Amino acid sequence: MIDLEMTNEQKDLVETVRNFAAKEFAPFIGEADQKGTPISGTFQKLTQMGLPGICIPAKYGGSGMDYVSLGLACEEMEYVDTSLRTILSIHVGLCSLGIYQWGSEEQKQEFLVPLAKGERFGAFGLTEPDAGSDVAGLKSTARKDGNFYILNGSKMWISGADLADTFLVFAYTDKERKHNGISAFIVERSNAGSGFSTFSIKDKAGIKAGNGGGMTMQDVKIPAKNLLGQEGEGFKIAMSCLDNGRYTVGAGATGLIHACLDASVKYAKERKAFGKAIGEFQLVQEMIARMVANYDASRLLYWKAGWLKNGGIRATRESALCKWFATVSAFQAASDAVEIYGAYGYSDEYPVARFLRNAKGSVIYEGTQEIQKLIQGEYAMGIRQDRPVRCPLPPHEEYSLVK
């Protein structure tokens, strides 16, 4: 049975993250967004709260909390700005949990422990200039050469590209096998050599306070022990990572809806038109009511997905549904918030314009809304069915909401 009451530990987490973000990030996020640069030391500040390893077991350097707690932290981070939640999505959801789920004990000790402790920042390299939703269309290759692999190719739209220390990278080891010929590799910037480089993408429409870019690999030589899982398991690994990433994106979008709601209610009480507060007009109330309904629905969806993950149960459908519904709802909430603010909403004098620009990105990355719709339709029709994977997400030994 799903328990919707937060534990004392989770209440403490929410209060801590909320207060910390309000003090350390909220006063500076507007300027960072306008300049198009991250707030200095953001990852280090998140490390002070233990967030880089929030749901990684203590024996691997983490805080040992559960997946609902990860969702709650993402919600609080995106309440302030999407760029802050993005750090948790890529570092925890896409990179660290991928190594936790698929890595050997040796790999966990070497790579996961420093990631969980916040000593290294992790990123995820799947998308390419010509391969997004069509993962099989990627062109990066990995060739076995004795005790090494030689990687060539390029990646695009990598959050944290210029800041990350450890990358989870996907490349073909056997192009003829298509999806079954993709493999996953752990690449560390420090020993990748001169053939490895990253770059930033400037002038993004949204999430301007977050670093995003790409990477190139020219005969990058990495040890064979950096192969994650087995050759040919890269597609399954990528999809399992996206399950975790989509969960964090959906939870974060829930926080953005909450931010839009709070900002809209505050302004609707203060702004006067035709002799009364605009919040007294029914069409303004309709937009606010929609935010209320979509916030509650989004929160329930990510709680359900997190509860399943706590029990080591595959939650592909639930995570995809959470991501789809919450991100679309967040974009609607931001659009409504701009409408409520009127002309002021169309400027950066108030935060709702930033909310709108940020919200659109979440609808697209880690699976567009069209992809999410196809996933739900295929599940409903019985075309798609979850099959056992070699390595299901392990439940937590230290802490679990499962009764």
Catalytic pick from 76, 188, 233, 366?
366
Write the CB contacts of 13 (distance below 8 Å, at least 6 apart in sequence). 65, 69, 72, 73
366 is catalytic: yes
Distance CA 36, CA 47 (A): 23
**Tokens at residue 100, please?**
């936790």
Rg of the chain taking only CA atoms, in angstroms: 21
The DSSP secondary-structure symbol of 137 reads G
List C-alpha distances in Å: 189 to 195, 226, 267. Answer: 10, 13, 46
Q: Yes or no: say if 161 and 217 are a contact pair by the CB < 8 Å rule.
A: no
Helix (H) or strand (E) holding 198: strand 196-200
d(CA 153, CA 217): 5
As a whole number of angstroms, the distance between CA 211 and CA 180 comes to 32
How far is 4 from 307, CA to CA, in rounded Å? 10
Q: 1 CB contacts (<8 Å, ≥6 apart)?
A: 403
- The region that residue 234 occupies, defined by phi over 0 for left and psi between -120 and 50 for alpha, beta otherwise, is alpha
User: Strand (E) positions, 202-280?
Assistant: 212-223, 227-228, 272-273, 276-277
Nearest Cα neighbor of 124 from 135, 110, 137 is: 135
How far is residue 142 CA from its own chain's centroid?
Answer: 26
> Per residue in 33-48, is it b (16+ CB within 10 Å) or e — as a string?
beeeebbeebbebbbe
Task: List active site positions.
Answer: 366
